[in-house]
Amino acid sequence: MRRTPTITTYSTRGGSGKTLISVNLAQWFAEVMGKKTVIIDADIEAPSIDKIFKTGKESRSSNKTWVHYLDNYFEKIDEAILPTSHDNLFMIISPPPEIGKRFLATKRSEWWSMALKRSIVAQKRLLGELGFDWIIFDNQSGLSMNSVNHMALADKSLLVLRPANYGVDATLEFLHEMVSILQTKIQSRRDYFAWNQVPKPQNEKEEELLEMFLGKWEQFFVDRGVRPTVRIPYVHSLAIELLNKEAGIFAHILEFYEHIDRIGKILLSSED
């Protein structure tokens, strides 16, 4: 597979903040860098992109979604592209989770091979005739045929982690089974990770402990070819705003958004 300007964000467990980072990163590419960007909701068991961008129930109930495209309900990906309220930023949504779960449960391995081929066709069209500069896949958490396909499409991936043992431990199998294989198959591939919701130490002892724990895991990832980006702290004001159903883009919260800026610049600096 050739290099493409495609990023897949993923996590091994839900609740890491993966989608939040995906959406804000997509907005950064679109509005800060002026790149025509499309974010695709590939988390078909727990889709939420349409809720963040408030597209309404009529969009979610339609059959013009990423899932329906993969299942060949319609021919060209053009029909699934929706605008957002942000300049240069578009999206492709997935249907309600009950549909996604049935969808995952009923497909055999041969179907997933066909779905990957259709994904590559969509990718080429988005980056070619339709003139998109970047594609960002918000991937499904965990290890599945769905998550493997969307990892294979990307020349860059971003693993989002919360600093908790149960979340970090789950990455062991994931990195061994997927990332190392993809790096072997796609020589130009670049894989990264970001910590999210990192607690703020209250004293020197806590700071030493935090550095010891995170440093140990960071070295583990680096040894497996997954490079560090940022440590996003727990931001109280952001946590409060997440209680609002309309929350999604946090460019106004500098303590959070400056890390999105840093991630984006790291991903861009890795361009050959």
Q: Where are the domains of the chain?
A: 6-269
Task: Supply the pLDDT for residue 1.
Answer: 44
Pick the CATH number of 6-269 from 3.40.50.620, 3.40.50.720, 3.40.228.10, 3.40.50.300: 3.40.50.300
Please report the pLDDT score of residue 14 as a whole number.
77
Report pLDDT for 272: 45
- For residue 19, give every residue at least 6 positions away whose Cβ sits within 8 Å of its Cβ, in sequence order, or none: 9, 43, 48, 49, 52, 138
pLDDT digits (tens, 9 = 90+) for 133-149: 999 999 988 777 888 88
Per-residue pLDDT, 93: 94
Q: Which of 116-120, 126-130, 237-241, 262-266 has the lowest mean pLDDT?
A: 237-241
Question: Is residue 2 exposed (0-12), middle (13-18) or buried (19+ Cβ within 10 Å)?
Answer: exposed
What would you measure as the largest C-alpha separation in the chain, in angstroms? 59
Where does the chain have alpha helices with state H? 18-27, 49-52, 57-60, 66-70, 97-106, 109-127, 145-152, 165-169, 171-174, 180-185, 204-223, 236-241, 254-269
Q: In this predicted model, what pLDDT tens digit does every residue of 249-266 receive, in sequence order?
A: 999 999 999 999 999 999
Task: Please report which confidence band the pLDDT of residue 62 belongs to, taking 50, 70 and 90 as the band edges.
Answer: confident
Q: Return the pLDDT at 248.
A: 86
pLDDT at 83 over 90: yes
Q: Does residue 26 surpass a pLDDT of 80?
A: yes
> How many Å apart are CA 41 and CA 217, to the nearest integer?
29
Residues paired with 190 in a beta bridge: 156
In the predicted model, what is the mean pLDDT of residues 17-27?
A: 95
* Of 174, 134, 130, 132, nearest in space to 151 by CA: 174
The pTM (predicted TM-score) of the whole model is 0.90
Residue type present at position 152: A
Amino acid at 176: H
List the helix and strand counts (H, then E) for the chain: 13, 8
Q: Are 90 and 78 in contact (CB under 8 A)?
A: no
Average pLDDT over the chain, rounded to whole? 87
Question: Which has more pLDDT, 182 or 60?
Answer: 182
Residue 115 in tokens = 């779905």
pLDDT at 174 over 80: no
Q: Model confidence over 145-161: pLDDT tens digits?
A: 888 889 889 989 999 99
List pLDDT tens digits, range 32-50: 999 999 999 999 888 889 8
Count of CB atoms within 10 A of residue 206's CB? 12
Residue 119 pLDDT more than 80? yes
